[in-house]
Structure 1
Amino acid sequence: MENKINILRKSFHAFFRNYQYFTFFVALILLPVSILVLLSQAVEFFSYPFLLTIQIRLDNLFNAAGFPPSSPFFFLLNVKLSQTITCSIFSFPFTLSFLLIAKSAIIQALHHKTPSTTASSVFSLYNPLLLTHLCNSFIIFSAHAVGLCFLFVLFISFSEFGYSSPDSAFFLSAGGAVVYSLILANTLIICNMALVVAGMENCGGFVAILKACVLIRSRVSTALSLALPVNLGLAFLEALFQYRVVTIYHMSDKISFATVFEGLLIAYLYSLLILQETVITCIFYTNCKSELRIDGEGNADYHYYRIKNMEENEIFMDSKFLHELP
C-alpha cells in the first residue's frame, strides 16, 4: 500500500510541477477525443443503423455459440460490445492523431523534464507510439476473442453435464463476467504500459508490449489498483455527461448554450483524467525500472534487457546472468 501511495504522490507532484503545460496545452489536445467518447453515450450522434447492425451480428453469434438467449448478462455484453466497437471505429482517426500526440507530449515532458510545445519535440515520439497503438489494438481485439471463447467453452461444458437451469446460467454468467473482466483489465494495463515504454525507450510495436509484460510481471495488483481510481472517475464523468447533457437533450429536444458549456466542461475534466492516467503510468514505469535491477534472482532483469537487445538485432548478455539461464 505504501508503494502505491508513493506512486500516486509522485504522479500528482509531476502533474502540478507541469500544471500550466498539462492543463492549457495537453488537455486541449485531448479535448476532441474526450468529446467524441462522451458523445458515444448517445446513439443519435452516431449512425444508429450501423450500431443496430453490429448488435444483430453479435446476437446471431451468441445464439450460434449456444449462449442463453434470455440471459441479462449476454444482453448487456452485446450492448456494451456494440457501443465499444462503434465508438472505436468512429474515434479511430482522433485516437491516432490527438490522443497519441497528447501522450507523446506527456512522455516528453516527464522523461526529459522539459515541457515543449514545438512540433519537432512533440512528434519525435509519435512513430513508435503509433506502431505500438496499432499492435495494442490487435492485442485488445484478441483479448475480447479469448474472453468470448472462454465463455463459449464454459457454457458448452456445463450444458453437456446437464447444468442448464436458470440458476446455473446466472452463476455461470457471474463467474464468466469476472474472468472476462480480469482478462480485459490485464490486457488494458499492459497496453497502457506499452505506450509509455514505447515513448520512454523509443521502441515500438510488439517489442514495447513484451517489455511492458516483463515490467508488470509480479506487479499486476499494483497496476490494477492504480488504474482503478482513474477508471472510476472516467465512468463517473460519463454518467454525469449522460445525466446533464444527453438527458436534457432528450427531454427538451434542443440544446442550449449553458448545456453546451457544461458538456465542454465535463469533457475537459475527462481530458484531465486521461492525462493523469498517462502520468501515473509514467511514474509507475520509472518505479518498475528502479525495482528491476534489484530483483532477487535477476531473471526479470535478464529477460528485459534480452528483449531490448532483440530490437537492435544483436545478442548481448551480462556475464553474471550466463550461469542463471535455465
Structure 2
Amino acid sequence: MEVSSGLGPRPGSSGLTREKHEEDQGINIENLELETLVNDSRSNHQFHSMGALDILRETVWILRFNSGGFMAIVAVLICPVSAVLLSNVLVDQSLVKRLSFRLLLVAKSSGLPLKPFVKQSCHRMAEMVISAAMCFPLFVTLLLLSKAAVVHTVDCTYSRKKFDASKFYGIICKIWKRIVTTYLWGCLVMSGCLTFFIVLLVVVSCVFLIMGFPSDLILYPAMVVGLIFSIIFANAIIICNTAIVISVLEDVAGPQAVLRSSSLIKGQTQVGLLIFLGSTIGMAFVEGLFEHRVKTLSYGDGSSRLWEGPLLVVMYSFVVMIDSMMSTVFYFSCKSYRLESASEENEPVLEAQVNGEVQ
C-alpha cells in the first residue's frame, strides 16, 4: 500500500494476483499475495501498515479520487438515515420514558443512588435502545447498503476505477444476503455486550450493597464497570464494522466473518480504537449541535433552522461516510500488518536457506 500517494495497491487486490495466477494455476492464492506484496515493498520501500493518522490521510486521498461516487452515496443513501436519526422522528418518547423508568428501578434496587448522572445515563441508554429498535429497518436497508457502497468504492479506487452504480447493483444482488447475515450477527454481538453489562452492573452493585457499603460509594465501582464496558463495547463495534467490510470483499458471512474480523485486527486494536473515538466524537458533536440549534429554540425566532438543520444533516452524513471509509482502509491496513508479520517470521528461514546455498 502506498501511503504517500493514497492510491497504492491494496492487499487482496484481484488486479495484483491475476497475472501471476494465469502463469501458474497451482500456486496457493495466499502465498501469491504475500509474494507479490513483498516484491512491491522491495521495489518502492513504502509497503507498511498504517496508524490512525495515516488511515485518515489515505481516506482523504481516496475521497478526492472518487469524490463523485462518494457524494452520490451520501446524498441518496446516508442523508435520509441521518435526518431520521438526528430528528428522532421515529422514536416514541413514551416508550423511552417507560424503559428509562424501569432502568431506574433496576438501579435503585441494586443500591445505586438516583443522582442526576445515573438518571441521565438511564435515559440515554433507553433512548439509544428505542432508537435502534425503531430505526432498525433503515439500518438494515439504506445504511447497510451505504456501507457496502462505500466499501466497494474504496476497493474500486485502489484499482484506479470510478464508482459505477450499475456494476455495484449487479454485485450487491449477489452478496446482499451475506452482508445482511453478517450485520445481524453483529447486532447480536452488541446486544449481548449490552445485556452482559447490565447484568454485571447489577451483580457488582448488589455485592457491594450486601457488604454494607453506602449507596454513594457503590457509584464508584459501578463507574469502573461502565468504563471497562465502554472499552469492550468499542472493540465489539470495531469487530462488527470490520466484519461487514470482510463480508463485502471476501466470500465469508455471519459468525465466520465476525471471527475472521476479530482475528484480523489483532495487533491493530489501538488503531481501531482511535478511529472509533474520532468518529464517535465527530458524531456526538454534530448531534449536540442539532439538539441545541434545531430541536431547542434557545435563540431568535428559529428561522435559521431552515438552513442549519439540513446543513447539520449533511455534516452528520459526511462523518458517517468517513467512518465507513476509514473502516475499509483499516481492513486493508490490518491485512498489510498480518502479511508484514508473516514475512518477518519467514525472513530468518529464507536467510538460512541462502546461507546454506552459499556454503
Q: Which residue of structure 2 lines up, in the alignment, with residue 133 of structure 1?
A: 183
Equivalent in 109, 112, 121 of residue 153 of structure 2: 109
Aligned pair in 2 of structure 1 residues 154, 72: CA closer, same or farther (>3 Å)? Answer: farther
Alignment of 1:40-189 (within 5 A): 40=88, 46-64=91-109, 66-113=110-157, 114=161, 115-118=163-166, 119-166=169-216, 168-189=217-238
After superposition, give the CA deviation of every residue in 1:205-229 in whole Å (9 maximum; x if it has no partner).
1111101100112321111012211
Q: In the alignment, is residue 230 of structure 1 matched against residue 276 of structure 2?
A: no
Q: In the alignment, is residue 294 of structure 1 matched against residue 344 of structure 2?
A: no
Contact 1:132–1:198 under 8 Å retained in 2: yes
- What's the secondary structure of 1:236's corresponding residue? helix
Counting matched residue pairs gives: 291
State the one-letter code of the partner of 2:81: V
State the one-letter code of the partner of 1:88: A
Cα offset, 1:196, TM superposition: 0.9
State the one-letter code of the partner of 2:96: L
Q: In the alignment, is residue 207 of structure 1 matched against residue 256 of structure 2?
A: yes
Q: In the alignment, is residue 269 of structure 1 matched against residue 315 of structure 2?
A: yes
Q: In the alignment, is residue 35 of structure 1 matched against residue 35 of structure 2?
A: no
CA distance in 1, matches of 2:207, 2:302: 51
Alignment of 1:281-320 (within 5 A): 281-295=327-341
Shifted more, 153-162 versus 264-273: the winner is 153-162
Q: In the alignment, is residue 9 of structure 1 matched against residue 57 of structure 2?
A: yes
Aligned pair in 2 of structure 1 residues 184, 67: CA closer, same or farther (>3 Å)? Answer: farther
Shifted more, 120-129 versus 93-102: the winner is 120-129
Aligned pair in 2 of structure 1 residues 57, 297: CA closer, same or farther (>3 Å)? Answer: farther
Aligned pair in 2 of structure 1 residues 297, 78: CA closer, same or farther (>3 Å)? Answer: farther
CA distance in 2, matches of 1:296, 1:153: 43
Cα offset, 1:297, TM superposition: 10
Cα offset, 1:251, TM superposition: 7.2
CA distance in 1, matches of 2:335, 2:151: 15
Cα offset, 1:269, TM superposition: 1.2
Contact 2:209–2:215 under 8 Å retained in 1: no
- What's the secondary structure of 2:274's corresponding residue? helix
CA distance in 2, matches of 1:8, 1:102: 19
Cα offset, 1:108, TM superposition: 1.3
Higher CA-based Rg: 2
After superposition, give the CA deviation of every residue in 1:115-140 in whole Å (9 maximum; x if it has no partner).
12123244443222211111111111
Over aligned residues, Cα RMSD in angstroms? Answer: 2.5
- What's the secondary structure of 2:341's corresponding residue? coil
Aligned pair in 2 of structure 1 residues 123, 236: CA closer, same or farther (>3 Å)? Answer: farther
Q: In the alignment, is residue 23 of structure 1 matched against residue 71 of structure 2?
A: yes
Instruction: Name structure 2 gaps, 5 residues minimum.
Output: 1-48, 346-359
Aligned pair in 2 of structure 1 residues 269, 100: CA closer, same or farther (>3 Å)? Answer: same
CA distance in 2, matches of 1:212, 1:200: 12
Contact 1:100–1:126 under 8 Å retained in 2: no
Cα offset, 1:197, TM superposition: 1.1
Aligned pair in 2 of structure 1 residues 122, 269: CA closer, same or farther (>3 Å)? Answer: farther
State the one-letter code of the partner of 1:15: L
Contact 1:237–1:270 under 8 Å retained in 2: yes
- TM-score, length of structure 1 as denominator length: 0.81
- TM-score, length of structure 2 as denominator length: 0.74
CA distance in 2, matches of 1:38, 1:290: 37
- What's the secondary structure of 1:294's corresponding residue? helix
Contact 1:29–1:98 under 8 Å retained in 2: yes
State the one-letter code of the partner of 2:256: V
Instruction: Name structure 1 gaps, 5 residues minimum.
Output: 300-326
State the one-letter code of the partner of 2:267: S
After superposition, give the CA deviation of every residue in 1:51-89 in whole Å (9 maximum; x if it has no partner).
22222232333344x141424443222111111111112
